[in-house]
Structure 1
């Protein structure tokens, strides 16, 4: 992936001595390469084992179990004007959220099309659910006026199910309320809604510009 203005700006945010977390996706992989060529004295980590392995390959000192992170970079599927995120499609949001909570600064890299005043209703609120409780969680989501689709594959090492909950209305007006109710249901490990975590969004425009949110 070519060096874009967005990646260049993100790379310049990394300073010597920092601990830095990288998420997944093409943009973040390109950012890893951009930071690596600067030869900074930093330590890095990632919620993804494959990304940690790649960071080792390009010469970074890697932390496998971080306690605190100065700066985190990640992508998203949707973001609104209040920095609420949906990170649903990759299905690894439980691990991503755990790392995000450790970050002093959590910066999102995203194309302009994913930024809207309210969260995009084509992107589901996704739940990771213990398999034995999946049927009960599906019913709980339906009771909250959500359409539910169970993904046919299990989630990673934990072997849990992923439930995609779609909004029936024109906008996600009740997503915080629905998310709060569903994450209290027994068997729900976590959700793809990120609130009060992102500190900045670097938005890539079609003309290779960048605007910040």
Structure 2
């Protein structure tokens, strides 16, 4: 059986040129991409790489890549990442890992942000089974919860709790995470602005008009997808 995530990773590897500074997110497709690059020693040696993911960073270190911390990156040639789902305009939800704040930071620094995955990721509209994840200051939990549920009354606000210890799940930045489930997504542009402007919110997992391209693989092969509506990326 064909591994479509691997096929997408192979296609992504062909988009990388010697000497570039690249950023990588997390997940299985990105791990495949790391393996593809590591199999090309000359290309690997020429690259400077950073990542928003602890797991990906560990793999890059294991494979001997030239790593730089995100704090010392001002610009990336290209940033690759997976997602839960993206729509026809490449608006994406990246909710699973809870590292969307760092992912969005690196995506914003890239000349080109590319979504990777299998064909199931591409849907006409965002699927409401995936929440918008909000990272927020611990002191802001109740204030942010009340603000979101008041503005969007048909939502469920669920704080993420740890499965490895008693208590709240803490983000890589030392903050709390909460899943916001919508019955139907409101206007995405307004949602993007209104939630990130709430005092106490560090960031959310809706990537609105950030990706320039998606590379997906499925039964019909690899597809290169662009936004249905042109927009200014990373502006």
Q: TM-score, normalised by structure 2?
A: 0.84
Q: Does 1:211 align with 2:220?
A: no
What corresponds to 1:78 in structure 2? 85
Q: Tell me whether 1:188 sits opposite 2:193 in the alignment.
A: no
Q: CA deviation at 1:208?
A: 6.8
Per the alignment, do residues 210 and 129 of structure 1 end up closer, same or farther by CA in structure 2, a change over 3 Å counting?
Answer: same
Structure 1 gap segments, 5+ residues each = none
Task: Please list, as runs of the form range in 1=range in 2, the aligned pairs for 1:46-195 lying within 5 A after superposition.
Answer: 46-64=51-69, 65-143=72-150, 144-145=152-153, 146-153=155-162, 154-169=169-184, 172-195=185-208
- RMSD of aligned Cα (Å): 1.8
Moved over 3 A (4+): 1-4
SS in 1 for 2:125: coil
Q: Tell me how far apart the structure 2 counterparts of residues 208 and 35 of structure 1 sit (CA, whole Å).
A: 24
Unaligned runs of 5+ in 2: 163-168, 226-235
Size of the aligned set, in residue pairs, is 210
- Which of these residues, 199, 202, 208, is aligned with residue 215 of structure 2? 202
Conserved 8 A contact 1:202-1:210: yes
Write the distance in 2 (CA, Å) between the matches of 1:156 and 1:174: 27
In structure 1, C-alpha distance between the alignment counterparts of 2:210 and 2:170, rounded to whole Å: 23
- Compute the displacement of 1:179 (Å): 3.0
1: CA distance, partners of 2:204 / 2:196? 7
Q: TM-score, normalised by structure 1?
A: 0.92
The 8 Å contact of residues 79 and 114 in structure 2, kept in 1 or not, is answered as yes
For the Cα contact (< 8 Å) 1:77–1:88, is it kept in 2?
yes
- Aligned-partner Cα distance in 2 for 1:193–1:19: 25
Q: For residues 5 and 51 of structure 1, what CA distance do their matches in structure 2 show?
A: 19
- Distance in 2, matches of 1:202 and 1:157, equals 28
Q: Is the 8 A contact 1:24 1:75 kept in 2?
A: yes
1:71-92 CA deviation, whole Å, 9 max, x = no partner? 1110001100001011011100
**Which structure shows the bigger proportion of residues in strand conformation?**
1
